[in-house]
Amino acid sequence: MFDTIILLTGRVEQATMALLLWDHNPSLRIVSIGSADDLANLNTDILPRARLIAFVTSVIVPQRILGRLGYGAFNFHPGPPRYPGWAPSHFALYEQATEFGATVHVMVEQVDAGPIIDVAPFRVPAGISVFGLERMTYARLAQLFRRMSRRLASDPEPPPVLPVRWGSRTYSRRAFGQLCDIPGDLPKDEFEHRMRIFGGKRLEFALRSSCTTHNPDLVS
């Protein structure tokens, strides 16, 4: 019997999202976790009765957990289907995309590859920064969560999927790192374009890559 939601997200989101889910299903048990360590220490006995919701997290849920969940796992991805993978806002602005969005999908072993449940597209405003695009995307994700919260909290059946496919390219941490490496001999326009989008991430990416294997950016 479905009676548990494992909520994988940041501390700020955990309380607000739990209250919304409880509003729809007061008897629901909610287990809030935020890190890979929390996931590793999860009591796996609850999995057959549980559904997992991941919201704007870089934590990768392994197949050994996904395969045991009785009521599925669903991810709120901070990018449209065209941009699966790492740091979608950065790549979209680098490629001068005119449309962006937020995506909800079924979680499978491969990151950002499962069937798509819902999408919230929007136009990219001219001259917007990465931070501005991420804020717009987060707002769409919050709207998607609110719209889906009753079904996720109360209905043991999985949400229906859309006839929408992911983009053929999965954007990777390696590709992100390559674009953060900005040589001084680039053509002026390319140099300025990369600096505007990736310049602020150069030192952060280098330090985190050398100190930890945990993903430093929103990726899925």
pLDDT score for 122? 98
Domains of the chain: 4-154 (3.40.50.170), 173-211 (no CATH)
pLDDT band with cut points at 50, 70 and 90 for residue 213: very low
| pLDDT over threshold 50, residue 215 | no
Phi and psi, residue 71, nearest 5°: -130, 25
- How far is 34 from 118, CA to CA, in rounded Å? 23
| pLDDT over threshold 80, residue 90 | yes
Contact 87, 217 (CB under 8 A): yes
Q: Tens digit of pLDDT for each residue in 177-207?
A: 888 887 878 898 988 888 889 876 544 444 3
Contact 85, 172 (CB under 8 A): yes
More confident residue, 216 or 24: 24
pTM above 0.85, yes or no: yes
Q: Tens digit of pLDDT for each residue in 35-83?
A: 999 999 999 999 999 999 999 999 999 999 999 999 999 999 999 999 9
Relative to beta strand 116-123, strand 29-33 is unpaired
User: Within 13 Å of residue 202, how many CA atoms lie on the same side as its CB?
Assistant: 12
Contact 105, 114 (CB under 8 A): yes
| pLDDT over threshold 50, residue 105 | yes
Q: Tens digit of pLDDT for each residue in 154-178?
A: 999 999 999 999 999 999 989 988 8
